[in-house]
Structure 1
């Protein structure tokens, strides 16, 4: 009996633990990680102190070219080196180099453009996000950059349209003033479960971070509590029945003793009366 009670108590504690841990969870995050973003020929990531080589056309080896930054023509100096193979070399980048570069090969009319951008993802979205039905959900893409990147939200691979869901979906800028970087869904419905992607674009660079959203039933938090109540009720009932069965034989034994005492007393009285008659 004691083993059974101990086992039932163990399952009660287990139910409490499961109930406490079943509300909201999230995955791990990483800081300052751009993940799988890949530089392109025309768009390069800014890295302080790193060298950079831009080439206007690899088919030319001995021809003049003109380079501009944000529309202003560059001159040869200790920071900018221009070569006859239409290349521009910067030995050590600094933040002033963030911007638009263009080159024009002498004798040509079409310019070629390059971009040096600064992009920083402070934190990925959690791998999974769990929220109760009819509650609100806010997902924030902690991104910043120069120039300001554009952000688009996808659900299961399809773009989320603010106009079609204007009553429940709200797109806001994040703390770094990037437009649409925060997504608020209020209230959230069971149909909102799925894979949400924050797609970040800056010129020809693309970066994304993803979270799986799970929507729990509104009464989900109540089930562990009801389970605990049921377990405690069963435990109390078992203890009551056990104690009742244990006490009953003692009462029956006491009743028999009382009957025997009464019987003995009656017999003694009869013997006394017989003696007095004699």
Structure 2
């Protein structure tokens, strides 16, 4: 009986752990988000790797004027300028980021390139679970230079336009990117949905997504109540079993020992008399 009780308690504790796992904020390890793609006029700086900018495709032997942040560039050990209107840096460094422009004799307006630093350190988790009336905090772990733009969407709409706008707050992340951290407190069932961190830097756009699920405030309590009910029922079963066992033992010992001895003696005398008659 004790082993049975222990088994039920262990099963109840296991169920409690599964149910209580929704308390606070939890997230899955998988991540969701879009890829970060360069565009023709916006290039990501990758330190130690080549940087290539081409002013006119399929051009040959054209004189090209290149500038960076308004200063004219000349060919040297670090920068190579080719007649096919290509600027080539074999090993890019941090100081190579900036605004580049080029112009050939056939162009009426210069062509502008932006060389930027942009890194998404970690995607948002695939899903995020939070307990009702708790606080939800989502951090878009992105960094960039120059300053990038972060916008939060819920189910395709800006979070500022949703019904939770009075309870939300946006702040800088650990890389000092404005609006990269979204907080909602207290969170309600209506806040469940698909949240997107949309990152923009010139013509580069990237996003990372998480599905927010809000659990009932009493969700973690039901497994505990189940454990209590199991223990109470088992205690009642043990109590009734022990009570019946004690009563049965008491009934067995309720007969008079002296009377039992007298009956045994009388029975023995009667047997002796019968044997003598025979």
* TM-score for the superposition, normalised by structure 1: 0.85
In structure 2, distance between residues paired with 1:178 and 1:133: 28
Structure 1: gaps of 5 or more residues? 269-278
Equivalent positions of 1:121-132 (< 5 A) are 121-132=120-131
User: 1:263–1:58: structure 2 CA closer, same or farther, 3 Å change rule?
Assistant: closer
Q: How many residues align?
A: 263
Moved more, 184-193 or 156-165: 156-165
Equivalent positions of 1:265-276 (< 5 A) are none
Q: CA RMSD of the aligned region, Å? A: 2.7
Q: CA deviation digits over 1:124-174, x for unaligned, max 9?
A: 222221111111111111111111211111112222226975421111111
Give the drift of 1:8: 2.6
Give the drift of 1:94: 0.7
Contact 1:47 1:93 in 2 (8 A): yes
User: Which one has more relative contact order, counting CA pairs under 8 Å at least 6 apart?
Assistant: 2
In structure 2, distance between residues paired with 1:52 and 1:189: 48
Matched residue of 1:103: which SS?
Answer: strand
User: 1:226–1:100: structure 2 CA closer, same or farther, 3 Å change rule?
Assistant: same
Structure 2: gaps of 5 or more residues? 266-278
Give the drift of 1:22: 3.9
Q: CA deviation digits over 1:207-247, x for unaligned, max 9?
A: 21111111010111211111111111011011111111211
* Residue aligning to 2:86: 87
* Residue aligning to 2:28: 27
In structure 2, distance between residues paired with 1:95 and 1:234: 70
Contact 1:104 1:110 in 2 (8 A): yes
User: 1:9–1:261: structure 2 CA closer, same or farther, 3 Å change rule?
Assistant: farther
Equivalent positions of 1:97-246 (< 5 A) are 97-161=96-160, 165-246=164-245
Give the drift of 1:204: 1.4
Contact 2:196 2:210 in 1 (8 A): yes
In structure 2, distance between residues paired with 1:135 and 1:6: 34
In structure 2, distance between residues paired with 1:161 and 1:56: 41
